[in-house]
Amino acid sequence: MTINANVLIASLLDGLLIGFVYGLAAMGLTLIWGVMDVINLSHGALIVLGMFGALLAVQSWGLHPYIAFIIVSIAGLFLGVIIYYIAIRRVLEAPELTTLLSTFAVSMIIIGGGTAAFTTSPRNINFNLGTISFGGGANVLGTKLAAALLAAMVTFLLYMFLYKTRIGKSIRAVSNNRAAAELMGIPSMQILALSFGIGTLLAMGSGALIATLFPFNILSGSVYELKSFVIGVLGGLGNPIGSLLGGLILGFIEGLIPNFMDTSWTPVIEFALFVIILLVKPQGLFGSKD
C-alpha cells in the first residue's frame, strides 16, 4: 500500500474530529467511574438512546439536529438521576460485580425496549452541512467539524462546571474522598445522583451527535461503549478531561491505521492497546482522578 500524503492528512483530520465526539462519550463513563467507582455497563445503551432520541426529534418533530442534541442531553440528565435512584443507590456499597450487573440490567431493559419499538434495522439522520476544505485536498464533512466543535464546547462547559462552580467542586471532592467530603457537609447522595445524571447527559448527548455522522441501529451502542472503555483507560479512569485527550488519541489511531493496513485491524490494535495500558499504567496516561 503506498501512502498518499494528502489522503493521510485528510484521514487524520477526520479521525481527530471524530475523536472529540468519542472523548465526549467517554467523559460520561469516566465521570461516573471517578465519582462513585461504578463501571456503567448501560453506557452503550444510553448512547443509543441518545441516537434514537435525536432521530425522533428530527423526524417526528422536525427539529434541527443540534436543537435535538440539546434536548436529548437535558433529557439524559433527568434519566440519569432516575436510573441512579432505582438501580445504583441501593447497591453502591456492594462488591463491584453487583453494580456491574445492575447497570447491565438497565442496559438490557433499554435495548430490549428499543428493539421492540424500533427493530434492529439501520437508521440515519438525513443531515448535511457540505464539505469544508482545508486546502491541499484535505476536505472534511461540515457535520463532523460541527460535531467536534459542539463536543469541544460541552467539554469546556463541563470543565468550567467542575472547577469553577460550588457544585462542581463538591463533585470533585466526593470523587476524591467521599467520606472526607461528607465530613465537610457535602450531601454526597445528591452529588452522586447528579453525577450519574451528568454522565448520562454526556452519553446521550454524544449519541445524538454520532447520529448526525454515521448510520446506526439499536445495537450500535456496544461499539461506542467499548471505545469509551478504551478512551477511559487511555485518559485515566475518573479523569473526565483526560478523556478528551484519550478520545483524540483514539481518533488519531483510527485515522492513521487505514493508511497502513486493512481497517479490520483497527479494533485489534485498539483493544490490544487497551489491555496493555491497563497492565502497565492502570492509572491511565494522564493520571486518574485529579
Partner 1 sequence: MRRIILSPFLWIGIIILAAIATWPMATNNPTLREELFLILMFITMALSLNIILGYTGYVNFGHIVFFGLGGYLGIYVMSTLHWGLFPAMIVGGIGASVFAFLLGAAILRLRGAYFALATIGINETMLALAGNFQPFGGATGLTLNFRIYKLYGGAGKALWLAFALLAAVTIIAFIASFIIEKSKFGLGLMVIREDEDAAMVMGIPTPLFKNLAYTASAFLPGIIGVLYFFKNGNIEPGEAFNLEMSIEVLVMIMLGGFGTVSGPIIGAALYEEIRSSLIVNPLLQSMHLVIAGLLLLAIILFVPIGVVGWIRQRVPAVRRYLE
Smallest gap, in angstroms, from Cβ of residue 39 to partner 1? 5
C-alpha pair distances (Å), 13 with each of 73, 138, 140, 255: 26, 8, 8, 7
Smallest gap, in angstroms, from Cβ of residue 41 to partner 1? 8
Can you tell me which of 101, 129, 189, 256 binds partner 1, judged by CB under 8 A? Answer: 101
Smallest gap, in angstroms, from Cβ of residue 238 to partner 1? 11
Instruction: By CB under 8 A, tell whether 109 contacts partner 1.
Output: yes
- d(Cα 199, Cα 76) in Å, to the nearest integer? 8
Task: Kindly give the interhelix angle for 166-176 and 5-36, rounded to the nearest 10 degrees.
Answer: 80
Can you tell me which of 124, 139, 176, 222 binds partner 1, judged by CB under 8 A? Answer: 222
Instruction: By CB under 8 A, tell whether 77 contacts partner 1.
Output: no
Residues 235 to 264 in contact with partner 1, rule: CB under 8 A: 262, 264
Smallest gap, in angstroms, from Cβ of residue 267 to partner 1? 4
How far separated are the first and last CA of the chain, in Å rounded? 43
The nearer residue to partner 1, 106 or 140, going by C-beta atoms, is 106
| Cell numbers that stand for 240 in this block | 473526565
List helix spans (H) across 84-141: 96-118
Instruction: By CB under 8 A, tell whether 90 contacts partner 1.
Output: yes
- d(Cα 283, Cα 279) in Å, to the nearest integer? 10
With beta carbons less than 8 A apart as the criterion, state whether 189 and 48 touch: no
| Cell numbers that stand for 81 in this block | 438521576
The nearer residue to partner 1, 212 or 288, going by C-beta atoms, is 288
User: Which residue type, as a one-letter code, is found at position 128?
Assistant: N
Instruction: By CB under 8 A, tell whether 100 contacts partner 1.
Output: yes
Residue 123 phi, psi (nearest 5): -130, 160
Which residues form the interface with partner 1 (CB under 8 A)? Answer: 33, 37, 39, 86-87, 90-91, 94-98, 100-102, 104-109, 111-113, 115-116, 222, 226, 229-230, 233, 262, 264-265, 267-268, 271-272, 274-275, 278-279, 282
